[in-house]
């Protein structure tokens, strides 16, 4: 579903500051109170006189809403010089990291991630004890009934999966929006996807995870029958089923713009480039009417709004490598901006509806030449809705494969005197993984006029890249290209490859508030649903054949004339692809 990223190369590179070598440790202490618990993962990338520290703290106890503080003591002479995603203070060996104001909450099973740069001499031993709000972190789940999460797998579609963001639904007051709709709420399990997942051996291990429902054509609103790739349930059917399950939230993908996906063929849609009036009256209005039904007022309805569209207007118009006439048309006629503005206005007016607009991914708009202009056009679309608050947040990596974290390949890494940004893979990008990109893009969006409470989502349904091919340590090569290719978690042939990627795996399971500024890791692209057919397959859904889905295709300028890396035997976009699902489970990270 994701077009090949195109960008204008930055003319200058930022100075690199360090050579990294992976080293990790998990700190575990000795005791924990019965009322709370926590776990800390502490890892470093170090060189002779300095290191970058990465800290992830998970709250295993009762929700923390009034701010959190993590403290520890260094064993040596380590001295922090810079920190991010937390306010870090050091006095002697003692360090305190406080959560930022925009991510002060830490729900049960919620995770905060922050980092720092530091100097040292001699040895660089990891701290042995971490304390969260006065409680020593042992990694144990507390025994308090009010906070102990279930660890047994669910066997019923109406039950919450063990990996879902919460084990109990919430009951917000109708018409009152919460800061994070995923926090403290059980996600809806689509029974159609669940059945498909369980039709593949081992699928019941993940089939109770919440996934999004794609409304990718007008007929999908009321449901379809026959050979439809998305099954027969309509929007109201899914909402009613969510109530039956006792779900706290349900996710829909709003995906039917006129001239949809102007830079790729596999996910073209049914509406022509001038069909904006039809988009409004026949598509958005009926969805808004159903979602606005009072019977669903206590259900958090989350809409993922029009993936791929706005970034295409920045990167895939005339003057850009591979620019298309359709993208030119959609930029000129305002169909994307006005269509999204209308959708945000109609859906954002509903008190229990949360809109997250698609924001591409780091391998598409991570370059300076794309980063700012993409944010600007997203603001233009939000303002077209009448109020930027109609946007609750943004989502990155939708239906894509960009790794969540690249522990051994960061923009600050240097190899043989060269920045990894000079490597063919990174190609001067300012970002190498999705988490740092999403957090930085959030900061940019807030700086230009979006609400300071903006939250980000990251689609982790297919970016795990586990299995035997996953690097476990940094390469020892002094050649920058060899180092990057041997060290990167993302194993694609080229970062521009987007269709049914060979070797991909399930990523982090859906989780609420996993890192600062991130509302949730989500599975918006249901694992096992195809990105596009590997050969031409006639269909009545307006979906074409894109050579990037053909495993024999040798590529184009937009993917460095590289093989597509696509799996063979794929059906049309959105149709069930069991071979892909089996591969995703086999290569899952964390492993199943």
**DSSP line for 265-277:** STT--SS-TT-HH
Going from the C-alpha of 482 to that of each of 173, 194, 403, 425, the distances in angstroms are 55, 41, 19, 10
Q: Which tokens hold the place of 1?
A: 């579903």
Question: Which residues have CB under 8 Å from 199's CB, separation 6+?
Answer: 578
In the predicted model, what is the mean pLDDT of residues 74-79?
93
State the greatest distance between any 2 C-alpha atoms of the chain, in Å, as a whole number: 69
Is pLDDT above 70 for 503? yes
The domains found in the chain, sorted by start residue, are: 22-136 (2.60.40.290), 191-407+429-472+496-545+569-586 (3.20.20.40)
Is pLDDT above 70 for 199? yes
Catalytic residue chosen out of the listed positions 216, 433, 459, 531: 531
Contact by Cβ (8 Å): 52, 45: yes
Whole-angstrom distance, CA of residue 16 vs CA of residue 190? 46
- Residue 511: pLDDT band (50, 70, 90) is very high
- Tell me what pLDDT residue 585 has: 98
User: Position of tokens 């449901």?
Assistant: 223
- Tell me what pLDDT residue 206 has: 96
Residue 285 annotated to the active site:
no
Whole-angstrom distance, CA of residue 99 vs CA of residue 88? 9
- Tell me what pLDDT residue 149 has: 33
Contact by Cβ (8 Å): 511, 180: no
Whole-angstrom distance, CA of residue 59 vs CA of residue 70? 11
Whole-angstrom distance, CA of residue 547 vs CA of residue 556? 10
Catalytic residue chosen out of the listed positions 308, 358, 459, 550: 308
How is the beta sheet containing 130-132 ordered, strand by strand? 87-91, 94-98, 69-73, 130-132, 135-136
549 DSSP 8-state letter:
G
- Residue 463: pLDDT band (50, 70, 90) is very high
Within 13 A of 571's CA, how many CA atoms are on the CB side? Answer: 17
Q: Which tokens hold the place of 207?
A: 């089939």
- Number of other CB atoms surrounding residue 231 within 10 Å: 21
In the predicted model, what is the mean pLDDT of residues 314-325?
85
Residue 531 annotated to the active site:
yes
Tell me the percentage of the chain whose pLDDT exceeds 70: 86
Rounded to the nearest 10°, the torsion over CA 592, 474, 482, 492 is 20
Q: For residues 465 and 81, which has the higher predicted lDDT (pLDDT)? A: 465
Is pLDDT above 60 for 161? no
* Phi and psi torsions of 45, nearest 5°: -115, 115
For the segment 391-425, what is each residue's pLDDT rounded down to a tens digit? Answer: 999 999 999 999 999 999 999 999 999 999 999 99
SS3 106: strand
User: The whole model's pTM is what?
Assistant: 0.73
Range of weakest confidence among 144-153, 475-484, 529-538 = 144-153
* CA nearest to 248, candidates 512, 547, 546, 581: 512
For the segment 8-38, what is each residue's pLDDT rounded down to a tens digit? Answer: 333 333 333 222 223 333 333 333 233 368 9
């Amino acid at each position: 579903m994701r077009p090949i990223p195109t960008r204008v190369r930055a003319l200058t590179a930022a100075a690199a500051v360090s050579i990294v070598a992976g080293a990790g440790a998990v700190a575990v202490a000795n005791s924990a109170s019965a009322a709370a618990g926590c776990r800390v993962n502490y890892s470093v990338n170090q060189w002779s006189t300095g290191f970058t520290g990465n800290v992830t703290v998970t709250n295993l106890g009762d929700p923390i809403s009034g701010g959190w503080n993590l403290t520890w003591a260094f064993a040596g002479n380590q001295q922090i010089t810079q920190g991010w995603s937390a306010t870090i203070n050091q006095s002697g060996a003692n360090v305190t990291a406080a959560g930022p104001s925009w991510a002060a909450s830490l729900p049960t099973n919620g995770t905060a991630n922050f980092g720092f740069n530091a100097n040292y001499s001699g040895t660089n031993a990891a701290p042995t004890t971490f304390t969260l709000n006065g409680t020593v972190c042992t990694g144990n789940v507390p025994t308090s009934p009010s906070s102990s999460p279930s660890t047994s797998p669910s066997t019923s579609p109406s039950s919450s999966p063990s990996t879902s963001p919460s084990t109990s639904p919430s009951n917000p007051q109708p018409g009152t929006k919460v800061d994070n709709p995923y926090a403290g709420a059980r996600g809806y399990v689509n029974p159609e996807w669940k059945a498909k997942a369980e039709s593949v051996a081992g699928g019941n291990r993940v089939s109770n995870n919440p996934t999004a429902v794609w409304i990718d054509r007008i007929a999908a609103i009321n449901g379809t029958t026959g050979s439809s790739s998305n099954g027969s349930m309509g929007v109201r059917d899914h909402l009613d089923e969510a109530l039956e399950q006792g779900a706290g939230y349900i996710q829909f993908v709003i995906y039917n713009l006129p001239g949809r996906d102007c830079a790729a063929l596999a996910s073209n849609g049914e509406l022509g480039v001038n069909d904006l009036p039809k988009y409004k009256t026949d598509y958005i209005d009926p969805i808004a009417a159903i979602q606005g039904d009072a019977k669903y007022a206590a259900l958090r309805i989350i809409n993922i709004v029009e993936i791929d569209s706005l970034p295409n207007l920045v990167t895939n118009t005339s003057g850009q490598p591979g620019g298309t006439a359709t993208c030119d048309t959609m930029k000129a006629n305002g169909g994307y901006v006005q269509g999204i503005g209308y959708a945000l206005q109609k859906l954002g007016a509903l008190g229990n509806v949360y809109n997250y607009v698609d924001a591409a991914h780091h391998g598409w708009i991570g370059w300076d030449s794309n980063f700012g202009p993409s944010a600007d056009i997203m603001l233009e679309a939000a303002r077209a809705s009448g109020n930027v608050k109609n946007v609750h947040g943004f989502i990155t990596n939708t239906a894509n494969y960009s790794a969540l974290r690249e522990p051994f390949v960061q923009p600050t890494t240097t190899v043989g005197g060269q920045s990894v940004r000079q490597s063919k893979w990174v190609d001067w990008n300012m970002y190498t993984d999705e988490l740092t990109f999403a957090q930085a893009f959030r900061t940019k969006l807030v700086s230009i006029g979006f609400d300071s409470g903006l939250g980000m989502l990251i689609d982790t349904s297919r970016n795990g890249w586990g299995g035997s091919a996953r690097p476990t340590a940094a390469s020892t090569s002094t050649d920058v290209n060899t180092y990057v290719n041997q060290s990167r978690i993302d194993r694609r042939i080229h970062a521009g490859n987007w269709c049914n990627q060979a070797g991909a795996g399930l990523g982090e399971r859906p989780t609420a508030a996993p890192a600062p500024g991130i509302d949730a890791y989500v599975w918006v692209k249901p694992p096992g649903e195809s990105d596009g057919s590997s050969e031409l397959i006639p269909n009545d859904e307006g979906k074409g054949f894109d050579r990037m889905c053909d495993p024999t295709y040798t590529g184009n300028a937009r993917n460095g004339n590289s093989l597509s890396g696509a799996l063979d035997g794929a059906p049309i976009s959105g149709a069930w692809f069991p071979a892909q699902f089996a591969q995703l489970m086999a290569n899952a990270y964390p492993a199943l």
